[in-house]
Amino acid sequence: MYNPGGMGEGAPLLSLSGVTYRHRLTKWHKPWKKRLGAGIHNVDLEVNRGTILGLIGPNGSGKTTLLHTIAGLNEQQKGDVQIFGQDREMLGWSNSQRHIGLMPERVNWSGTNTPREVLNRLITIRGEGGDSEKMLKTVGMSNRMDTPLDNMSQGMRQRLTLACALLGKPDILLLDEPLNGLDPVAQAAFRHLLRELADKGVAIIVSSHNLHEMELFVDSLAILHRGQMVASGSLSEVEKMLGCDPYLIIAGNGWCPPSDNSFGRGISIQKCDEWAGEEWRFTLHKKGGWSSNERHDILQSIEESGGEICLLQTVLPTLEEMLAAATGESVETVGLEVGDDSMIPLRKLGVEEDE
């Protein structure tokens, strides 16, 4: 890994502090009159070496804008972006891009060029040498190096985009919805590749609107909503921060726990529709989550009363539940509302809209 002069030893690889970028909007008949639209507002974020950070949020929450701002495609209007503990302006705009690889969302590669030619061109643009064949082998395209772009499937195009992002062995990898268009086998291979890169010290930020997809391979989470960072940290930290605990699903036959009764202090119980082979199904909620002892006690209590357990599952809160917890909106409405142009910052955080 490249670290110019060993600078910023101990500092996070990437650090954002109070970063704001809002898109400038114009109307075609008044191109001189610009107003600020949606974007990201006052974002703080730190990513360390070897970490995979999942950036999640609903559509229009600002994930792509944040990634583009980190990649240097958008120049932040406020705040600082530091790489290796050094301000990006001091490091040099172009030089800072040398440390960052960006995989944009769904690049629709087209034309008569081949993946090998695309990579060779990007290697020339970067001006630092590289092996396009090796890179294409890394992403599993050794047999498609000379296939015209027009003849490639969406999955192949995704792999090529990843190969582009990996050029120059970046220290920071930004992936925008990388699993879109990949089949399950390719998704697993992709996750494995990301873990390998993280083990080599690469800091990876992966954006997605699918929390369950993220749970499989991220080390920490950052939730973005209406351009603001709602919460960040490990999954358990985020859950704790938002007061959004995992709950238990318990199903079985025989003795049925009374739905108005609680198994203990602080545990609330709610009946659900049964599935095939079950006589009853409940969800159990408790502030602070569940310890293994508590789960064991519940199992024991049911079995002692003559019940037979066929399912006991800890369910993590969904993105919708987390967003609902963060915004105070209901689960039903929080996902429907796409951030509008005026990008009203969350009232809960007490931030005034600046323009």
Binding of residue 18 to another protein (CB under 8 A)? no
Q: Which residues contact 109 (CB under 8 A, 6 or more apart)?
A: 118, 149, 152, 157, 160, 161
Binding of residue 115 to another protein (CB under 8 A)? no
CB of 108 to another protein, least distance (A): 4
Binding of residue 72 to another protein (CB under 8 A)? yes
Q: Which lies closer to another protein via its Cβ, residue 95 or residue 268?
A: 95
Binding of residue 26 to another protein (CB under 8 A)? no
CB 25 within 8 A of CB 35: yes
According to CB under 8 A, which one of 18, 59, 87, 110 is a site residue for another protein? 110
Binding of residue 158 to another protein (CB under 8 A)? no
In terms of Cα–Cα distance, which of 83, 290, 321 is closest to 223?
321
Q: Which residue has the tokens 């890994």?
A: 1
Helices (H), the chain: 63-71, 88-91, 93-97, 115-126, 132-138, 154-166, 184-199, 211-215, 235-242, 292-304, 319-327, 331-334
Task: State the angle between helix axes of 154-166 and 115-126 in degrees (0 to 180), rounded to the nearest 10.
Answer: 20
CB 311 within 8 A of CB 252: yes
Q: Which lies closer to another protein via its Cβ, residue 60 or residue 72?
A: 72
Rounded to an integer, what distance in angstroms lies between the CA atom of residue 231 and that of residue 225? 9
Rounded to an integer, what distance in angstroms lies between the CA atom of residue 181 and that of residue 99? 27
DSSP 353: P
Q: Which lies closer to another protein via its Cβ, residue 13 or residue 325?
A: 13
Considering only the stretches 119-127, 203-211, 256-264, 336-344, report the one whose residues sit in contact with another protein under the rule CB under 8 A. Answer: 119-127
CB of 186 to another protein, least distance (A): 19
Number of residues near another protein (by CB under 8 A): 36
Considering only the stretches 111-119, 213-221, 249-257, 334-342, report the one whose residues sit in contact with another protein under the rule CB under 8 A. Answer: 111-119
Binding of residue 94 to another protein (CB under 8 A)? yes
Binding of residue 107 to another protein (CB under 8 A)? yes
According to CB under 8 A, which one of 102, 224, 229, 242 is a site residue for another protein? 102
Q: Which amino acid is at 182?
A: L
Rounded to an integer, what distance in angstroms lies between the CA atom of residue 241 and that of residue 88? 30
Binding of residue 241 to another protein (CB under 8 A)? no
CB of 253 to another protein, least distance (A): 53
Which CA distances in Å does 338 have to 167, 181, 291? Answer: 34, 23, 37
In terms of Cα–Cα distance, which of 41, 62, 60, 38 is closest to 336?
60
DSSP 160: H
Burial 298-312 (b: 16+ CB within 10 A, else e): beeebeeeebeeeeb
Q: Which lies closer to another protein via its Cβ, residue 61 or residue 158?
A: 158
CB of 8 to another protein, least distance (A): 19
Binding of residue 225 to another protein (CB under 8 A)? no
Site for another protein, residues 32 to 61, rule: CB under 8 A:
none
Site for another protein, residues 159 to 198, rule: CB under 8 A:
161, 164-165, 168
CB of 160 to another protein, least distance (A): 10
According to CB under 8 A, which one of 113, 180, 220, 318 is a site residue for another protein? 113
Residues engaged in binding another protein (CB under 8 A) = 23, 68, 71-74, 94-95, 97-98, 100-102, 104-113, 117, 120-122, 124-128, 161, 164-165, 168
